[in-house]
Each structure stands twice: as C-alpha cells, then as structure tokens.
C-alpha cells in the first residue's frame, strides 16, 4: 500500500515507521521543515524507545520519506492517516486551526478510491459532519461513494508507543459499513493488535472520550479521597490499595493535578457538547484545584509562603517525557507566586535556557531552598540526595513517588493524602 501520515509528531512518526516496517510505502507529511529534513536523513527528533532505529531502517529501505506538501503525498496514497493535534484554548473552546488546515491539504490531493482515517481524538460527530464535508468540498468527491472515511482513536502512551501498538485493541468505526470494513482491513495489514470494528465513526470517537474522561473522573475521586484522608489522619494509598483488592474497585492514584494534552482536554470535547456531563465538569474542577490544595498544605507546613524560596521540580507534565502541555507545574508556579513565594524551576529534560524562555527562573544546582514541590518524578531524581540542598525543610511530593529510603531525616515530607506528613 501507499500510505500518507499527516502530522509527524510524537505519535505520527512512530505510526509512519510502524507501517513502513510492514513493507508499505509511507509518505510522512508535516508543516515543520526541520522534522521533514530529519526524517529524510533517517533520524528521529524524538527519543521514543525504538523509534530512531525504525526510522533509520525504513528510510534506508526507501519505504519512508517525509515532505511538507501534503496534497502531493495524498495524491500518491491509497490510505491517509491524519494525526495532527486538536486542543482547547484558554477558554476551553476547541481550537481547530491545525486539523482544519491539514484537512484542506488532504482534500486538495484526494483522489477516488482513497481511504481517509482520522486518529486525532475528536468530539463526537466531527469525522462525519465536519471533516467529511470539508474533504468532499475540497476534492469534489462524494464521501462513502468516491472515497471512504473512518475514525480510529490513537490510544498509545508516549514512551511505550511500539509496545502499546501491539497490545491495545485498535477500535475502528467508519462513516458507512464499507469504510469500517476497509479501515479494519488496513489496520490488520499494518498492526499486530486485535482490531475491533464498532458500529460507526461516532461510536469510535466516543470510545476515546469515554476512556479518557473515566480516568479524569477517577483521579478526581482519588484526589477527594486524599483530601479526606488528610483530614482524618489516614494514609490514602493504604486505603486505595486495600479497596482495590476487591475486584470491582479500580481507584486511581491521587496527585497534585492532571497535565498533558489528553486527560485535561478530552473531557471538554465531551462536556462542551452535552448537558449530561456534570460529573466530568466537576472532576475537571477538582483536578485543576489540586495545585492550590497542595500549595495550601505547603503553606501550613512552612507557616507562610511569603518570601520563601520554593523549587518546583519537574516542569514536564509527567515523569520522563519532555512535554509540557497543560503541565500542573504552571499552576504550581502561579499559585506559589501569588502567595508571594520566590519560585525556581528544575527539570533535567529542559536546559536552563529553555526554562528561561518560558518565563521561568531555572534552579541553579547548590542553591538554597526552603521547600521543593515534586511535580514530575523524573528518573534523574531517583537517587537525588535531597539533604544536600542547603536550607531544605520540606518536600511536597506531588506524585507520592519518593521512596522511603530517599527521605532525609532533616527534611519533612508531605505527600498527597499520605499519613507521614501531617501538615
Ligand atoms: N502524545 C500523546 O501522548 C498522544 C497519545 C495518544 C493519542 N494522541 C493523539 O495524537 C494527536 C497528535 O499528538 P502528537 O503528540 O503526535 O502531537 P505533536 O504535537 O507531537 O505533533 C503534531 C505534529 O503535527 C504537525 N502539524 C501541525 N499542523 C499540521 C498540518 N496542518 N499539516 C501537517 N502537519 C501538521 C506538527 O508540526 C507536529 O509535528 C493528539 O492530538 C492526540 O489526539 C496523542
């Protein structure tokens, strides 16, 4: 098959490499010339495990090339996979610019007989009602008659993409039965995973919104349990683990909040389009409120934050990934600054210049701090000797990730819903 992958990001490039590894001719499309040049040189700009070798191999075999001209790549393809991001803006409105623009480019190269699949997480109905008409208008072709259209959510986790591509069932739903069938056939040819064909594109779209909203709601519940546990002198992790020994209980872990461009975003794709989403909306509020909650605990522990020097450790939204979309670190910095603390930020995955360019003050090694908030427990922190930070009184472990043997006697540790704290 000739396949075009539109958007060579954290997910698109691994997908392109995966399809090429099955012997197909893949054209990757991206508006970023640097990305295109690197891929054509056989390099991955991302440190996804296994990606560099797969890209090098596919490019050397002549099965993978990259280009900025999407229409040309689409014209040469039997199947087009769209995987450019869709996010919400500061007002939680959905910002369609990137995916609309990619869709217009796909439309202008679309020829009869092509199958177009959206993998970007979408609000329910967008494949059929938004992109179907755009593709038809731009190509002059009729959807379901002259080209096929489907949605298949991408469910992998950055850092273990190739593992997940094998493991997670691939959910596929088309805008008609023939599109569903063709998309199912496509994925059987390019993946090793089980393929699950559902009734239609809307069912497939809703699957992804349901699984991500479920996680957000579950985390919000765990966060409220953590706050309750703090009030009652209970270690919430003991209660959660004990509760989860009952097979119907699947309570997630509490923390300082939820970051990344999936979990804090997709509940809005769902909630913005329905009046039946009270639980999802409230959960978003609870999770967004966790940064203020943990800063409040730190305030009690230090008996006031004004004039205190606090290090936020882990700018990335989660451990071991250089990605800061919707990172809770931003909220923590804002809350601490509003409380008149002096805030510095550390992250071994970012250079001091990169942090400074985001308007942050980078932490300088050896600098004295009154307290640290751990927001992402990068592996570089695993063997950190916290006692060597001059003046350190408190660590607020926002991820409940410190090992007991890592906690120095001289430092008081506060977790989220943990007993050993008592702030
Ligand atoms: N990153 C994740 O953890 C994750 C996990 C599962 C699913 N997803 C899905 O994958 C989507 C993409 O995520 P990502 O992490 O790969 O994004 P990313 O930001 O890493 O990459 C997106 C790429 O798309 C390119 N792009 C933007 N506009 C374009 C256009 N008009 N034409 C061609 N290319 C364009 C960008 O230059 C960039 O290289 C997400 O929106 C989400 O739906 C992401």
Both 187 and 235 in a single domain? no
Tell me the per-residue pLDDT of 225-241, one tens digit each, with 9 for 90 and over.
Answer: 999 999 999 999 999 99
CA distance 307 to 339: 9
Q: Is the pLDDT of residue 46 over 90?
A: no
Domain range spanning residue 422?
Answer: 211-423
**Residues 82-97, mean pLDDT to the nearest whole number:** 91
Band of residue 410 on the pLDDT scale cut at 50, 70, 90: confident
On whether both 371 and 323 belong to a single domain, the answer is yes
Query: Nearest residue CA, atom 3 of ligand 1?
Result: 158
**Annotated catalytic residue, options 29, 170, 182, 262:** 262
Measured CA to CA, the distance from residue 162 to residue 140 in angstroms comes to 37
User: Does 205 reside within a domain?
Assistant: no
Task: Compute, in angstroms, the gap from residue 170 CA to the centroid of ligand 1.
Answer: 18
Q: Hey, whose CA ends up nearest to atom 40 of ligand 1?
A: 85
Closest CA to 256 of 310, 186, 195, 333: 333
Residue with CA closest to ligand 1 atom 31: 102
State in Å: Cα 30 to ligand 1 middle: 10
Backbone phi, then psi, for 373, in 5-degree steps? -110, 120
206 domain residue, yes or no: no
Same domain, 328 and 182: no
Distance 338 CA to ligand 1 centre (A): 33
| Same-domain check for residues 37 and 85 | yes
Which residue owns the Cα nearest ligand 1 atom 12?
A: 85
* Predicted pLDDT of residue 423: 36
Residue 383 pLDDT class (50, 70, 90 cuts): confident
Task: Please work out whether the CB of residue 85 comes within 6 Å of at least one atom of ligand 1.
Answer: yes
Domain boundary among 160, 178, 199: 199
pLDDT tens for 58-77 read 999 999 999 999 999 999 99
Q: Residue 29 catalytic?
A: no
pLDDT at 403: 83
Whether 262 is catalytic is yes
Residue 120 lies in a domain: yes
342-346 and 309-313 as β-strands: parallel, antiparallel, unpaired? parallel
Burial status of residue 5 (CB atoms within 10 A of its CB: 0-12, 13-18, 19 or more)? buried
- pLDDT confidence tier of residue 408, bands split at 50, 70 and 90: confident
Which distant-in-sequence residues (6+ apart) come within 8 Å of 140 by Cβ?
none
Do 289 and 178 fall within a single domain? Answer: no
Could you tell me if the CB of 101 is within 6 A of ligand 1? yes
Give residue 88's pLDDT: 86
Q: Is the CB of 68 under 6 A from ligand 1?
A: no
Do 126 and 20 share a structural domain? yes
- Ligand 1 centroid, distance to 368 Cα (angstroms): 39
pLDDT band at 256 (very low <50, low <70, confident <90, very high): very high
- The CB of 35 under 6 Å from ligand 1? The reply is yes
Q: What percent of the chain has pLDDT over 90?
A: 91
Greatest CA separation for the chain: 71
Could you tell me if the CB of 69 is within 6 A of ligand 1?
A: no
Same structural domain for residues 245 and 132? no
Read off the pLDDT of each residue in 411-417 and give the average, rounded to a whole number.
93
Render pLDDT for 259-290 as a digit per residue (tens, 0 to 9).
998 999 999 999 999 999 999 999 999 999 99
Domain identity same for 184 and 241: no
Is the domain of 17 the same as that of 104?
Answer: yes
Is residue 231 located within the same domain as residue 350? yes
Q: Judge if the beta carbon of residue 4 lies within 6 A of ligand 1.
A: no
- Residue 217 CA, ligand 1 centroid: distance in Å: 25
Ligand 1, atom 28: closest residue by C-alpha: 98
Question: How far does the centroid of ligand 1 lie from the alpha carbon of residue 314, in Å?
Answer: 23
Binned at pLDDT 50, 70 and 90, residue 422 comes out as very low
pTM: 0.94
Q: Ligand 1, from 5, 13, 17, 30: best to mutate by most atoms within 8 Å of Cβ?
A: 30
CA of 271 to the centre of ligand 1 (A): 22
297 inside domain: yes
pLDDT band at 419 (very low <50, low <70, confident <90, very high): low
Please report which confidence band the pLDDT of residue 421 belongs to, taking 50, 70 and 90 as the band edges: very low
pLDDT digits (tens, 9 = 90+) for 176-212: 999 999 999 999 999 999 999 999 999 999 999 999 9
Is the pLDDT at 116 greater than 70, yes or no? yes
Whole-number Å distance between alpha carbons of 47 and 53 = 11
Identify the CATH number of the domain in which residue 164 sits: 3.40.50.720
Would you say residue 137 has pLDDT above 70? yes
Average pLDDT taken over every residue of the chain: 96
- Report yes or no on 204 lying in a domain: no
Residue 190 lies in a domain: yes
Q: Which of 208, 322, 358, 384 is catalytic?
A: 208
When pLDDT is cut at 50, 70 and 90, the band that residue 420 belongs to is: low
Say whether both 195 and 305 belong to one domain: no
Domain boundary among 171, 199, 227: 199
Is 306 found in the same domain as 228?
yes
Please identify, among 169, 199, 229, the residue that sits at the C-terminal boundary of a domain: 199
Is residue 375 in a domain? yes
Question: Is residue 333 in some structural domain?
Answer: yes
pLDDT in tens, 303-350: 999 999 999 999 999 999 999 999 999 999 999 999 999 999 999 999
Total of domains in the chain: 2
Cα separation, 409 vs 400, in Å, equals: 18
pLDDT at 406: 77
220 Cβ neighbours under 8 A, 6+ residues apart: 282, 283, 284, 286, 287
Ligand 1 neighbour 319 (Cβ under 6 A): no
């Amino acid at each position: 098959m000739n396949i075009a992958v539109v958007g060579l990001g954290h997910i698109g490039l691994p997908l392109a490499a995966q399809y090429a590894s099955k012997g197909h001719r893949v054209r990757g499309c991206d508006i970023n010339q640097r990305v295109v040049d690197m891929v054509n040189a056989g390099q991955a700009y991302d440190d996804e495990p296994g990606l560099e070798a797969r890209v090098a191999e596919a490019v050397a075999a002549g099965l993978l090339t990259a280009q900025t001209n999407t229409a040309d790549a689409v014209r040469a393809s039997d199947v087009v996979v769209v995987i450019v991001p869709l996010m919400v803006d500061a007002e939680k409105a959905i910002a369609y610019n990137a995916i609309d623009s990619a869709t217009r480019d796909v439309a202008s190269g679309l020829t009869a007989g092509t199958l177009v699949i959206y993998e970007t997480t979408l609000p329910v109905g967008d494949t059929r009602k938004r992109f179907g008409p755009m593709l038809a208008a731009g190509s002059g072709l009729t959807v379901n008659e002259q080209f096929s259209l489907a949605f298949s959510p991408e469910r992998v986790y950055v850092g273990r993409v190739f593992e997940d591509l094998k493991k997670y069932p691939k959910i596929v739903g088309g805008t008609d039965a023939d599109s569903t069938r063709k998309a199912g056939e496509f994925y059987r040819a390019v993946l090793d995973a089980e393929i699950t064909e559902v009734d239609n594109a809307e069912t497939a779209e809703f699957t992804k919104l349901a699984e991500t909203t479920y996680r957000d709601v579950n985390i919000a519940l765990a966060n409220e349990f953590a706050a309750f546990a703090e009030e009652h002198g209970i270690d919430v992790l003991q209660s959660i683990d004990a509760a989860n020994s009952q097979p119907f209980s699947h309570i997630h872990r509490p923390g300082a909040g939820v970051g990344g461009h999936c979990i804090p975003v997709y509940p809005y794709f769902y909630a913005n389009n329905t009046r039946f989403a009270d639980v999802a909306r409230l959960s978003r509020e609870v999770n967004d409120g966790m940064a203020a909650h943990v800063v409040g605990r730190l305030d009690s522990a230090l008996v006031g934050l004004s004039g205190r020097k606090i290090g936020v450790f882990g700018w990335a939204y989660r451990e071991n990934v250089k990605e800061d979309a919707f990172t809770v670190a931003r909220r923590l910095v804002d809350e601490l600054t509003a409380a008149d603390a002096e805030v510095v930020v550390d992250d071994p995955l970012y250079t001091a210049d990169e942090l400074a360019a985001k308007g942050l003050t980078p932490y300088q090694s050896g600098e004295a701090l009154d307290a640290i908030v751990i927001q992402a427990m990068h592996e570089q922190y695993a063997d950190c000797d916290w006692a060597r930070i001059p003046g350190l009184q408190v660590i607020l472990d926002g991820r409940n990730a410190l090992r007991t043997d890592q906690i120095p006697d001289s430092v008081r540790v506060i977790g989220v819903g943990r007993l050993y704290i008592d702030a």
